[in-house]
Amino acid sequence: MSDVAPQTNTIHDAIIVGGGPAGASCAIWLKRLGFAPLLIETAGALGGLARVNPFQDDWTPLVQGETGHEIAGRIARGVVDAGVAMRLQSAVSAVERRGRTFEVTVRDAQGVTQILHAHTVVIASGVTARGLDGAGPTPVPGILVGPGSDVADRDYRGLRVAILGGGDNAFENYTFVRERDPAVVHLYARHVRAQQQWIDRTRPEDVRIGAYDVDINARRVNGLPYDLLLVFYGWVPQVPYAEGLGLVRDARGFVRTARETAETSVEGIYAIGEVAHRMHPCVVTSLADGVVAAKAIQARLEPRP
């Protein structure tokens, strides 16, 4: 059963969908520029993918020696310190244009749906890990999709593990597993796209490059049996709630934006961070994207004479 909460007359300057680094940064900047943004996050805490990164983040130069999870905590504190209005455990399920404003449908953890209104909407809902073809949306025992705490928290001792994928995540997690005493760890990559620093840490005898066959139910790769398959097939953008807007996307589904403003093909709708894949995806580029959108929204809402 879903309840419907009464509508409010408030028109937010911006509703920001997603409280990862991109959305959080945009919200902080808008608030500090004097606007009234509302940040909506479906999880119970801010930080997005950084929150599920248990590894040390050596790529964010302003912070040394902290994990992604700890950096996510800093981002969340920044949002609170700025006094940004937010709703956690609330998912945006639709965005529609209504004249000169937007109607945003939000459903909270209790199943209560509410319609909110905004002058602008910022899509900052990030990406989700791409699964194995045919694996279906439900988790398959023995198959882990994408990096994060599920992979980091496992005990690999004595297990036969296959890593599938040819990017940084596949190679980084190969090293992670290999250091945890598995019986074997093999990496299968159709093509290698990883940075050389990760490739250099692999044992050549563990790596199979080229086409390979996966039997999901038997957990076999090229006929070899494994206890665990770890799948790192990249990422897909999460924007189902914006389908009705007809946003222009690229061939992989990422939302296309104007370089200088992060505005999408729909006036008043901005897309930042990984969902738009505007720059190499990481915490600092996502934070930077948030600034770009905030400044563009400022220019829209405060037009110069």
Ligand X SMILES: Cc1cc2nc3c(=O)[nH]c(=O)nc-3n(C[C@H](O)[C@H](O)[C@H](O)COP(=O)(O)OP(=O)(O)OC[C@H]3O[C@@H](n4cnc5c(N)ncnc54)[C@H](O)[C@@H]3O)c2cc1C
Task: Please give the residue ranges that form the binding site for ligand X (CB under 6 A).
Answer: 17-23, 40-43, 48-50, 52-53, 55, 57, 59-60, 68, 91-92, 124-127, 147-148, 238, 241, 273-274, 281-284, 286
Q: Which DSSP string do the residues of 72-98 spell out, in sequence order?
A: HHHHHHHHHHHT-EEESSEEEEEEEEE
**Residue 34, Cβ density class (10 Å: 0-12 exposed, 13-18 middle, ≥19 buried):** exposed
Rounded CA gap, 6 and 126, in Å?
29
Strands (E), the chain: 3-4, 11-17, 37-40, 85-87, 90-98, 101-108, 112-123, 127-129, 143-145, 160-164, 184-189, 207-209, 214-215, 220-221, 224-225, 228-231, 235-237, 269-271
Question: CB of 270: closest distance to ligand X in angstroms?
Answer: 12
Question: CB of 46: closest distance to ligand X in angstroms?
Answer: 7
Rounded CA gap, 295 and 30, in Å?
8
Q: Which residue, 235, 234, 213, 229, is CA-closest to 174?
A: 229
Q: Of 33 and 282, which has the nearer Cβ to ligand X? A: 282
Q: What would the two tokens of residue 3 be?
A: 């309840």
Q: Of 37 and 273, which has the nearer Cβ to ligand X? A: 273
Q: Of 33 and 43, which has the nearer Cβ to ligand X? A: 43
Question: CB of 21: closest distance to ligand X in angstroms?
Answer: 4
Q: Of 18 and 166, which has the nearer Cβ to ligand X? A: 18
Question: CB of 88: closest distance to ligand X in angstroms?
Answer: 9
Q: Of 4 and 183, which has the nearer Cβ to ligand X? A: 4
With tokens 């593990």, the residue in question is: 161
Q: Of 113 and 222, which has the nearer Cβ to ligand X? A: 113
Rounded CA gap, 166 and 188, in Å?
7
Rounded CA gap, 89 and 302, in Å?
32
